[in-house]
Amino acid sequence: MEEIIIGIIGGTGKEGKGLAYRWARNGIKVLIGSRQQEKAESAALFVNERLGFDGGVEGAINQDVADRANIVVLTVPFSAHAAICEEISPFVQGKIVIDVTVPLVPPRVTKVQMPPAGSATQEAQSIFGENVKVVAAFQNISYENLLNGESIADCDVIVCGGDRSARDAVIDLVKKTGLNGWDGGPVENAVVVEGLTSILIGLNKRYGTNSAGIRITGIPLE
């Protein structure tokens, strides 16, 4: 079986480092990408130190990470989303891309504001083309939960994408972070999970917390 190599584009941000930490802790090879080599290496060092052992996390520029990885993860601000998708498109053909991007539009980040494509995930799919399996996931989990090292089994991740086998593969990777993953259906449904992020941000602000999440009830875990 081919070794899983996850490349996180935008991995220097908090969400990217949180996911890198969770996967590396589970023994998965992780690459962190940035437009600046130094920033990527600094983020990789942070994750390895957070692990308390050398997790083998590496930092490199975005194109190198997208080329080396066999599963690519986008954790970038929406303002840079389209440009970065265009930048890495030649390197992700034939691969699964997990898009964690949420179309937040400052300053009103608690208001759902979807792009013309319908969602960030659909925007990525239109840029990459049909040879790339784009899947939405992890929009509704805070980086605080990812980095705290504690169990986060009470937070769920809804996975949406146009290819069922790709959704299944991503659900397996969700489980490797310690979260529950659920099949949310086709890529068009990504509008719901992306939009939920603004609601969760609003809940955090209203109730003075920073880790609001979601749970799916009524379905037994496998």
SS3 state at 179? coil
- In this prediction, residues 91-114 reach a mean pLDDT of 95
- CATH superfamily for 5-207 is NAD(P)-binding Rossmann-like Domain (3.40.50.720)
In the chain, where do the E strands start and end? 5-9, 29-34, 58-61, 71-74, 96-99, 133-136, 156-161, 180-183
16-66 confidence digits (pLDDT tens): 999 999 999 999 999 999 999 999 999 999 999 999 888 899 999 999 999
Domain locations in the chain? 5-207
Answer whether residue 144 shows pLDDT above 80: no
Answer whether residue 209 shows pLDDT above 80: yes
> 98 to each of 71, 135, 169, 206, how far by Cα in Å?
8, 5, 10, 30
| Greater pLDDT, 11 or 71 | 71
pLDDT band at 1 (very low <50, low <70, confident <90, very high): low
pLDDT band at 130 (very low <50, low <70, confident <90, very high): very high
Answer whether residue 150 shows pLDDT above 70: no
Q: What is the amino acid identity at position 68?
A: R
Q: What is the pLDDT of residue 135?
A: 98
Q: What is the pLDDT of residue 147?
A: 79
- In this prediction, residues 88-105 reach a mean pLDDT of 97
Answer whether residue 161 shows pLDDT above 90: yes
Q: Which residues pair with 73 in a beta bridge?
A: 8, 98
pLDDT band at 192 (very low <50, low <70, confident <90, very high): very high
Answer whether residue 79 shows pLDDT above 80: yes
Q: What is the pLDDT of residue 151?
A: 62
> 111 to each of 103, 116, 199, 218, how far by Cα in Å?
10, 16, 7, 29
Per the structure block, which two tokens stand in for 146? 């990812």
